[in-house]
Amino acid sequence: MLLPSDAVLIDTHAHIDFDDYGSDRDDVILRAQEQGVRYIINIGSSLQGSINSVELARRYPNVYAVVGCHPHDAQDFSGADLAQIKSLAKEPKVVAIGEIGLDYYRNLSPQDSQKSLFVSFIRLARELDLPAVIHTRQASEDTLRIVREEKLSRAIVHCFSGDGKFMSDCLDLGFYISFTCNITYKKSQGLRDLVKTAPLDRMCLETDAPYLSPEGYRGKRNEPSFVNLLAHTVAEIRGISFEEVCRATTDNAKRFFSINV
């Protein structure tokens, strides 16, 4: 796919620290750059993943780190782990706390553990003046209640999969919305409708790599270069130019994550 040379994209949510990229991580980052994906926000989903994310940000100039713990692992996350995340969060290329939140779809940790850890991470984000990257799945009511009670005002809801009401509530809180390659799926008309109506100045793009590869690549590993395809899909859905999608979503990501490049 050819990309205009002046277009710049950002993958706002990837996990290239995973073992899936152990043999060709340099090539994956190079392919992303060739497709105009100039920056990658690598998301910690566990303590070790957060450590690895910071190490990648140190190693690669175009990679930034987010540190936190996925709700799946909430029951095993200790106070000492939280203190270590706090220390990692002070690294110069750490741009947010995440991914944090609630997952009632799989419930791999008890819901009370998930809620307690979510609150702790929100308070850490506020203490350090960092935005939050939120994972929420079949937990919109509790997610909204907690962020309101904790007065969280700087957050992005990643891999958005809620309905129009939930999106409206998130936008009313000042949150950003991030879409991933599942909008390319044949059965995702509901998500595409949300892409069409979401305010462009509050939208970001992500792959959630290695998960959720786009249509035509399903069953294969996702990677940041596919943000290019995602941007083309958003442009088609909204009836606007690819360049406008690139410009808006990149400006949004830079603003949200305070990336001054």
Whether residue 24 lies inside any domain: the answer is yes
| Cα dist from 103 to 70, 73, 141, whole Å | 9, 10, 12
- In the chain, the number of structural domains is 1
Q: The domain containing residue 33 runs over which residues?
A: 9-257
Whether residue 71 lies inside any domain: the answer is yes
pLDDT tens, position by position, 26-45: 999 999 999 999 999 999 99
pLDDT at residue 2 above 90?
no
Instruction: Provide the pLDDT for residue 258.
Output: 97
pTM (predicted TM-score): 0.97
Could you give the CA distance from residue 142 to residue 144 in angstroms, rounded to a whole number? 5
Mean pLDDT, the chain, whole residue set: 96
Contact 64, 55 (CB under 8 A): no
Cross-strand pairs, 132:
97, 155
Whether residue 149 lies inside any domain: the answer is yes
Whether residue 4 lies inside any domain: the answer is no
pLDDT at residue 5 above 80?
no
Mean pLDDT of 198-209: 98
pLDDT tens, position by position, 121-164: 999 999 999 999 999 999 999 999 999 999 999 999 999 999 99
Whether residue 41 lies inside any domain: the answer is yes
pLDDT tens, position by position, 46-76: 999 999 999 999 999 999 999 999 999 999 9
pLDDT band of residue 7 (cuts 50, 70, 90) is: confident
Whether residue 152 lies inside any domain: the answer is yes
pLDDT at residue 84 above 70?
yes
Whether residue 1 lies inside any domain: the answer is no
pLDDT tens, position by position, 158-181: 999 999 999 999 999 999 999 999
Six-digit token string for 99: 């991914």
| Cα dist from 137 to 133, 142, 160, 225, 248, whole Å | 13, 10, 9, 25, 26
Could you give the CA distance from residue 245 to residue 207 in angstroms, rounded to a whole number? 16
Residues in contact with 238: Cβ distance below 8 Å, sequence separation at least 6, in sequence order? 195, 196, 200, 245
Whether residue 230 lies inside any domain: the answer is yes
Domain of residue 52, CATH code? 3.20.20.140
